[in-house]
Structures are given as structure tokens and as C-alpha cells.
Amino acid sequence: MKFYSNNNVYEEAIKRIEFFFDEFEEVIIGFSGGKDSTVTLHLALEVAEKKNRLPLKVLFIDQEAEWQGTIDYVKKVMYDERVEPLWFQMPIVITNNASTEHRYSYCWDENKKEEWLHPKDPISIKENKYNCERFHDLFKAILQVDFKDKKTCYLAGVRTQEAPKRLMSLTSGLTYKDITYGKQLTKALGHYTFYPIYDWEIKDIWKYIYDNDIEYCKIYDEMYKHGVTINDMRISNLHHETSIQALLLVQEIEPKTWNKISSRVAGSNSIKHLKGEAFKCPKEVPSMFNSWKEYFMHLKDNLIKEEKYQEQIMKRIDNLKKYMLNQIVEDDIYRTAIKTILSSDWDFTKMINFTTGHQFQSIKRFVNNTITEDNIEYCRKYNKYIKDLI
């Protein structure tokens, strides 16, 4: 639970965004079509209207392999008269987590126009002049080129509830003045990213949307009808590691999109024929193996095609061996590594989330002899890794 004197999270978010408009010459909203960026957009529109700062710049990097429902919703936002569209439909390279052999997908390839999943929009930006082709690096590059002479902040809809590592990274150090919930993009140019709804919970997101009758991407409704849990709903690029299970639903929800993506994205057709649990570590060690470690080694040797990824995952395992104080810790480390391989998560998101979780952080403090007296009693009762060791 979070306390802000007499303020709720909405009031705090508005105060933060008002501060950004006062501090920065340019305020840009990072938009994905998802619920969190939708809320961030509308909060910023509230403030921009009050401060006479409309139209509001809204940036969307179209990864081509998107839900059509997402693109339809994004188009409505981009054509809103209150919005100055920064809709990028330009050649970029993104990770393809649907395949272990074809690691990358090349978006908006001009030589394969007939295969594009949806056409380019007349108002979109189609030229990549940023000397950068990887998705996550583009935001910084775009600001460096297009806003090099302006003090600029980029507001994104990141929430700490969704990942423990976010809570740690967004509350452990100063980014700008007394603000922790952000990161420096290019400090010398005065470019920063901030997350004004970092402390919102999922219920706050949907309450704001409902209370204000805000339009949102209807793919969420379709996922709900198909039994997807609220925390598992992802409408981002369809072969990203956090949304790849959505490929199991595309044929039912958007048959036309499925027909295109099954021939466009390597591995997507194979994914469709897998069971929903195929990307997850099984609950029990498969009968042909004696341990999670043995199962992990089998997957490493047979599923990871590129030597560099084999080396990277083994390096991460080696760095964690000093924390394998008992079988419980060892098994969980290897289970997390197995999930990484099964979902081709070569950004190592799953392993990072595991090692930044509060349970594992406690064993790190125990091993490093930095655990405090205040934590010891709690760990004895609730921490499965070290409760029998202290």
C-alpha cells in the first residue's frame, strides 16, 4: 500500500506531469496502444490542455507484427486533433521469440511490401534516419536527432507492480533533481524518460479508464472472453517474449491477421500448434531426467542454436552458483533458466525478474552478510530459501 499524505495515485500522477510540463520544453508521450500508455496519454492530455500545450506529441514505433485491433486504436489516437502524431513505420530489427533458429524479424522491409501485415499510414514517418535499427535503442536515438536542441522528456506507461526489478530500479537512485522514477537518456542534451504512473496498480488503471469513459484497445475484451488473466494480457508485438502466448489466440480473434503472420513471422505456425503451457517450465522434472539441472543442460545443448546464447546463459548460471545453498534455490534457478530457453528470452527478462525478486534478494544479502536484524525474523518465517539456514 502506498501513502501520499491525503493524495491518491491519480492526484500524484497529475502533479508529476504538471512538473514535467513546467520543466521541459518538449513533453512526448510514448504510446503502445496498451492500457498503461493509454492512461499516461490521457493524464498528459488533461495537463496539456490546462497549460495550453496542445497538440501533444505522441510517439508510437510500429513493429508491424501487431494486432490489427491495436493498429485501429492507435490510428484513432494519432488522428485526434489534440495529438501531434509521431507514428514510425520505418525499417527496424526486432527479436523474434517465436523461433529458436530465426532470431530476428525485419520490419517494414521495402523489398517485401506484399508481405507487410498492415499497410503504412499516410501520416506515418517512414524513413529511418537515426543510425539505429533496434527497437529499444530507437527512443533515445529519435530524441537525439529530432530534439537535439530542446530540453525534452519522454513519458512512458511503466508500472512497478508488473516486475520487481522495476520497483528496485525506479526507487534506488536519483534521475533528475529529486525524482527516482525515470532514467537518463542523454543528460548532456537534457533528455530524460519518466514513468509518472509507476506506482499505479492494475485496478487503478482500469478504474481511471472506466470512470472517464476512455476508449481503449478492444483486444483486451477479446482476451478476457478467451479466459486470459488480467496480468497476462499483452497487446504488444506478437512475437515478443512477454506476449508470445498471444499467438495462440490470433487465429480465433483475428483470422486475417493470423493468415498474414503465419507466413510472415518464422516459428509462429509452430507456436500455434503448441499447448498453452509449452513456454513454461513443467511442474515436475520430466521422467527421463534426474534433476532440473540435467533437464536444463539438455535444453541448452539441443534448443539453443547460437553459441553466444549458450555462453551467456551459462555465465549467468555460473554467477548464481554461490547462492545455491540448498536444493530449493538450485532448482528454482534452473527452472527459471529453463523458462528462458523455452521462450527464447535472450534479453534474459525472466532471469532478471527472478534475481531481483524479494525472495532471492534476501538470500543475496544472507550470502553477502548484509542481512539486517529486522529481516532475520521475517526470513525465518517466510523466505523459503534461507529460513532453515538462519
Q: How far is CA 159 from the centre of its chain?
A: 10
- In this predicted structure, the answer to whether residue 323 has a pLDDT above a threshold of 60 is yes
Cell matching residue 152: 525534452
67-94: per-residue pLDDT in tens?
999 999 999 999 999 999 999 999 998 8
Judgement on whether residues 167 and 112 belong to the same structural domain of the protein: yes
Judgement on whether residues 193 and 229 belong to the same structural domain of the protein: no
Residue 244 domain flag = yes
C-alpha dihedral (211, 214, 216, 221), degrees to nearest 10: 40
216-265: per-residue pLDDT in tens?
999 999 999 988 888 778 887 776 555 566 777 887 888 888 778 776 66
| Percentage of the chain modeled with pLDDT above 90 | 55
Mean pLDDT of 284-292: 94
DSSP code per residue over 81-150: TTEEEEEE---EEEE-TT-SS--EEEET-GGGGGG-SSPPPTTSB----SS--BHHHHHHHHHHHHTTTS
Judgement on whether residues 319 and 356 belong to the same structural domain of the protein: yes
Instruction: Yes or no: say if 306 and 344 are a contact pair by the CB < 8 Å rule.
Output: no
- What pLDDT does residue 283 have? 87
Judgement on whether residues 34 and 101 belong to the same structural domain of the protein: yes
- What pLDDT does residue 362 have? 84
Residue 371 domain flag = yes
Judgement on whether residues 243 and 183 belong to the same structural domain of the protein: no
Judgement on whether residues 251 and 227 belong to the same structural domain of the protein: yes
- In this predicted structure, the answer to whether residue 40 has a pLDDT above a threshold of 70 is yes
Taking every pair of Cα atoms in the chain, the longest distance, rounded to a whole number of angstroms, is 67
**Structurally, how many domains does the chain consist of?**
3
Judgement on whether residues 23 and 68 belong to the same structural domain of the protein: yes
Residue 323 domain flag = yes
Q: Which of 172, 203, 234 is the last residue of a domain?
A: 203
Judgement on whether residues 163 and 228 belong to the same structural domain of the protein: no
Residue 338 domain flag = yes
Q: Evaluate the omega torsion of the peptide bond into residue 286 and state whether it is cis, within 30 degrees of 0.
A: no
Higher pLDDT, 306 or 389: 306
d(CA 155, CA 14): 12
The backbone region for 103, taken as left when phi is positive above 0, alpha when psi lies in -120 to 50, beta otherwise, is: alpha
- In this predicted structure, the answer to whether residue 124 has a pLDDT above a threshold of 70 is yes
Q: How confident is the model at residue 195 (pLDDT cuts 50, 70, 90)?
A: very high
Cβ burial, residue 80 (10 Å; 0-12/13-18/19+): middle
Mean pLDDT of 118-128: 96
Cβ burial, residue 88 (10 Å; 0-12/13-18/19+): buried
Cell matching residue 333: 534457478
Q: How confident is the model at residue 188 (pLDDT cuts 50, 70, 90)?
A: very high
Beta-sheet pairing, 152-155 with 191-194: parallel
**DSSP bridge pairs for 83:** 56
Residue 278 domain flag = no
d(CA 46, CA 155): 14
The backbone region for 267, taken as left when phi is positive above 0, alpha when psi lies in -120 to 50, beta otherwise, is: left
Q: Domain holding 66: CATH number?
A: 3.40.50.620
Cell matching residue 381: 518465517
Q: Which of 154, 173, 203 is the last residue of a domain?
A: 203
Question: Where in the sequence is the domain holding 318, given as residue range(s)?
Answer: 292-382
- What pLDDT does residue 67 have? 92
d(CA 191, CA 228): 37
d(CA 259, CA 53): 43
| Percentage of the chain modeled with pLDDT above 70 | 87
- In this predicted structure, the answer to whether residue 3 has a pLDDT above a threshold of 60 is no
Q: Which of 173, 203, 233 is the last residue of a domain?
A: 203
Residue 286 domain flag = no
Q: How confident is the model at residue 198 (pLDDT cuts 50, 70, 90)?
A: very high
Instruction: Yes or no: say if 387 and 379 are a contact pair by the CB < 8 Å rule.
Output: yes
Judgement on whether residues 228 and 89 belong to the same structural domain of the protein: no
Judgement on whether residues 181 and 46 belong to the same structural domain of the protein: yes
d(CA 106, CA 91): 7
Judgement on whether residues 154 and 235 belong to the same structural domain of the protein: no
d(CA 303, CA 278): 14
Residue 283 domain flag = no
Least confident of 177-186, 237-246, 305-314: 237-246
Judgement on whether residues 108 and 255 belong to the same structural domain of the protein: no
Residue 88 domain flag = yes
pTM attached to this predicted model: 0.76
332-366: per-residue pLDDT in tens?
999 999 999 887 888 888 899 889 887 888 888 88
